[in-house]
Amino acid sequence: MKLFDNEARYITITSFYALSILQYRMKPHSHARYEIMYVTKGNCTVSVNSDTYPLSAHQFIFIAKNVCHSLTVQENAPCSILNIEFNFQKHSSSIPLDYLLTASDSFRSFFESSYTNFMIGMDSSDLGCAFKDLLLHLEKRSRLMDLKKKCELDLKDNIALIRLGFFRVLIELSRNIMLNNSKLSGTQYIRKACDYIDEHLTDSLHISEIAEFVGISRSYLCALFFQYHNCTINDYINNHRIEKAKFLLKSSTLSITDIAFFCGYNSRQHFRSTFCKFVEMNPKEYRLLNQNSVKVSTGYSKKLVDSSGIKTSNMAAEYIVASSNV
């Protein structure tokens, strides 16, 4: 059984909203419309038929028509949500379906897919941005309708923007569903990102570049780091850089300025402030407390090897370190 009615050739948006909810319990209900819900901030739970599913920031759910569902936002756990409902019809409207089926392979695959009650996924492209833009145009149309005679040209432009915006939402939705069904898992994305960070720790790292390398959106990558590491990407990078710096402060005679540059910081001051944030003392104090733990380092190599012969990560300084027992 097909998810959508193949005889319907036009799309109509029936309702939309953007809400920040402090606490809410929706009664189970169903309607003859398709629904997309996108969480921009916080957490909620969505019940579909008799099953309950948690949703967090940058996750979405697509619910087919006539499917019983409800929404719950717990007390003291606010949640921000974008929502749109739409339907397909046989009569002409402002959003023709045929163009979208021709222009987007992802949407055509989604449109022709077998029937399912709902689909949940993580935004790994730009669904959130597309959703926000569309709701802004829909809200503007509501205002323009009140001034129709004075703003006929603006209204016509706005309808065109709504059509394009909704096309974009459906394409991004389709792409995300395809990605969530067929591509790497979140764990694999995180592993790939962490490997890239380790290999480029001494470079000037940018989140957008990491996301491009991994093959997902910037927002999805940020959400994954919160999910798997409970920290931001920048905190993850800085933590690894500081661990490298601590190793060099203990094991080498390099100056603090050199260590700062070897660990990816472009100034001693920036390095010092970050080090204090993570270690709760400055680099000089840390070196004085730990200066007897490991002796000198002078040689140069492409890999670091510690006293036990275990190869460490690619350190920026790329010095061979000898322990005080050698």
The 10s digit of each residue's pLDDT in 209-224 is 998 888 777 877 888 8
Query: What pLDDT is stored for residue 296 in this prediction?
Result: 42
Q: Is the CB of residue 166 less than 8 Å from the CB of residue 137?
A: no
> Can you tell me the mean pLDDT for 153-181?
81
Could you give the percent of the chain with pLDDT greater than 90?
Answer: 42
Residue among 325, 317, 324 nearest 300 (CA):
317
Contact in structure between 301 and 320 (CB atoms under 8 Å): yes
Confidence of residue 256 (pLDDT cuts 50, 70, 90): very high
In a domain? residue 108: yes
**Confidence at residue 316, expressed as pLDDT on a 0 to 100 scale:** 35
Q: What is the pLDDT of residue 155?
A: 67
Residue pLDDT, tens place only, 95-106: 788 888 888 888
pLDDT at 88 (0 to 100)? 85
Which stretch of 39-53, 140-154, 181-195 has the lowest confidence by average pLDDT? 140-154
Residues 302 and 225 occupy one common structural domain: no
pTM tops 0.75, yes or no: no
* Segment 171-206, tens digit of pLDDT: 999 888 877 665 456 777 888 899 999 999 988 899
| 37 plus 146 within the same structural domain | yes
218 and 305 in a single domain? The answer is no
Q: Are 67 and 29 in contact (CB under 8 A)?
A: no
43 token code pair: 């957490």
Check whether residue 255 and residue 176 sit in a common domain: no
Q: Which domain holds residue 49?
A: 10-182
Length of the chain equals: 326
The answer, yes or no, to whether residue 84 has pLDDT greater than 70, is: yes
Mean predicted lDDT score pLDDT of the chain: 80
Residues 174 and 92 reside in one and the same domain: yes
Residue 208 belongs to a domain: yes
- Do 203 and 176 sit in the same domain of this protein? no
pLDDT at residue 139 greater than cutoff 70:
yes
Amino acid at 191: R
Find residue 40's DSSP bridge partners: none
Together in a domain, 24 and 167? yes
Do residues 125 and 166 both lie within one domain? Answer: yes
The three state secondary structure string of 124-185 is: CCCHHHHHHHHHHHHHHHHHHHCCCCCCHHHHHHHHHHHHHHHHHHHHHHHHHHHHHHHCCC
Our count of domains for the chain comes to 3
pLDDT (tens digit, 9 = 90+) per residue, 21-35?
A: 999 999 999 999 999
Q: Is residue 1 part of a domain?
A: no
Is 5 inside any structural domain?
A: no
Same domain, 196 and 117: no
Provide the CATH number for the domain around residue 68: 2.60.120.280
Assign 133 a pLDDT band (cuts: 50, 70, 90).
very high
Domain CATH number, residue 198:
1.10.10.60
Q: Quick one: 64 and 211 in the same domain?
A: no
Question: Do 42 and 141 lie in a common domain?
Answer: yes
